[in-house]
Amino acid sequence: DHFVPISQAYLEVGVDALEVNLSCPNLVGKPQIAFDFEKSRHILQDVKNIAGKTPVGVKLPPYPDPIFNIQMAHIVKELEIDFVTVINSVPHCVMVDSDKEEFVIKNKFGGLGGKYVKPVALGQVRRFYELLEGKVPIIGCGGIETGKDIVEHFLAGASAVQVGTQLMKEGPKVFERLEKEFREELAKKNCTAKDLIGRAK
């Protein structure tokens, strides 16, 4: 039941870090791997064994019950996973065109991202920040449109962010804008990015 998605050959070309995405429903009729904690442990252990000194992180879904966060946090601690990325998109979402009376998405169901998922993302960032006692870096993902959004993720417990929806809208230039806005927010607060991590009261 062990699954090894990479080989040492990939690492030899120079990889800064590996993010293992356990939160995509890739197999019809099978649950997301991140909800099968024994299988998640096996996969992450296999990747860690192959990666050697290369940092290994895990990207996770929005867990609907805190018990899932607790179970995954235990695995992260046990295997000394280097970082956690939350969240992947919220699944089972539907958009309907009322004029055409049609589903907007070809396959009816799709994943929700962008500004609509930010509160969910912030909740998962905070859960893992507390469960991992601030000792494992968290990459916040969900609703990053402005520098202020980055500040919110940091205040919740993230120490970096990942941008998806806004990258699709603006292209690579989005990163320069977000960095500028984030620096402006830090200047207003007269602090460093590190100072913000997890300090929401």
80: amino acid identity, one letter: E
Distance CA 187, CA 151 (A): 12
The single residue of 24, 93, 141, 191 carrying the catalytic annotation is: 24
Q: How many contiguous H segments (helices) and E segments (strands) does the chain have? A: 8, 9
Q: In which residue are the tokens 């609703």 written?
A: 143
Q: Phi/psi zone of residue 46: left (φ > 0), alpha (ψ -120 to 50 degrees), beta?
A: alpha
H helix runs in the chain, sequence order: 8-12, 37-51, 66-79, 118-131, 147-156, 165-170, 174-189, 193-196
The candidate with the shortest Cα–Cα distance to 33, out of 41, 22, 44, is 22
24 in active site: yes
Residues marked active site are found at 24
